[in-house]
Amino acid sequence: MTSKIIGVGNYIPSEIIDNEFFNKNLFFDEKGKKLEQDNAVIAEKLKEITGIEERRYASKELVTSDLGLIAAKAAIENSKIDPEILDYIIFAHNFGDVPYGGIQSDAVPSLASRVKHQLGIRNNYCVAYDVLFGCPGWVEGVIQANAFIKAGIAKTCLIIGAETLSRVSDVHDRDSMIYADGAGAVVIQATEGNVGIKSHVSASHTFKEKDYLYFGKSNNIANLSDTKFIKMTGRKIYEFALLHVPDAMKKCLDDSGYKINELSKIIIHQANEKMDEEIVKRFCKLYDASAPKDIMPMVISKLGNSSVATVPTLLSMILNNELQNHDIKENDVVLFASVGAGMNINALVYKF
């Protein structure tokens, strides 16, 4: 018994934010010193490193659970199921619902409960809960849903990943240019066939690495409010990812029984284009292989980093023929991987 994907959906916000949007921002370093470089130079360097030219922000009237609901509806429609048969709704996020212009996160009731309510599901035995696992949260939600299915306590599950990072980023921190909003979702169902999830692996590196991503005060020390924002130590995250993610990907692929040359696609968390390319390069090197052309689709240049939403959004785009030069066909073997706050890593091998 394993799980197969029977429906996908996403929500890509309509508000396009290009790099010029940040031209008037006052950027400071972590010690509160104003950055001397012109903002245009900072943006160009960001583009060089991360590949980001644009990102998407949610419109003012929407919050994270709204984005997740839209993606969930699309996935349910794509799956052609009656939502009443859902056994679990798992919603991966990290900051709850943060209203535009607000400073307080709202996650009670859970975002999964809100989506279930908005879907009008009356089945009380459809369990709705949230997952907070950093950027790998959506992949972890799929792993958990698959465990329920393999244990025989679920047959059909909806897994959502959504975030509005634009609401929790510091306008005085140049890292704010990385963050984006979005949502993606899948419906998975029990199967006895040859398709579906073949292996998975998860890890939490917390002994020394716990605070590589954290909540902290604004870089503008003149801002005396107690409001906190998402912060990261970029260099340490980069080094951490290159050291640990390829090994986790290899363990997952080895556990699946497939060989490196049988992989059709690697769908990796859209965190940083240069970092992701290096991760895949190092992963292939573990097998004394080179990364095949077009094995790793990237959308970060136009969509930015929307945390838990990047992987399901990208998957949905490919399966719905919305991404040029990339497709997934029957019998294709795909490796999913993600890394983020915690510091958490996970990977999953799936046969279509």
Residue with tokens 């996020």: 93
pLDDT tens digit string along 307-345?
999 999 999 999 999 998 899 999 999 999 999 999 999
Q: What average pLDDT does the structure give for the chain?
A: 95
Average pLDDT score over residue span 197-202: 98
- The model's confidence at residue 289, banded by pLDDT at 50, 70 and 90, is very high
What's the residue count for the chain?
352
Residue 293 confidence (pLDDT) above 90: no
Q: How many CB atoms lie within 10 A of CB 207?
A: 6
pLDDT tens digit string along 159-191?
999 999 999 999 999 999 999 999 999 999 999
> Which spans in 151-212 are helix H?
none
Q: What distance in Å separates the CA atoms of residue 123 and residue 115, rounded to the nearest whole number?
A: 13
DSSP per-residue string spanning 315-327: HHHHHTT-STT--
Domains of the chain, each with CATH number or no CATH: 2-194 (3.40.47.10), 198-351 (3.40.47.10)
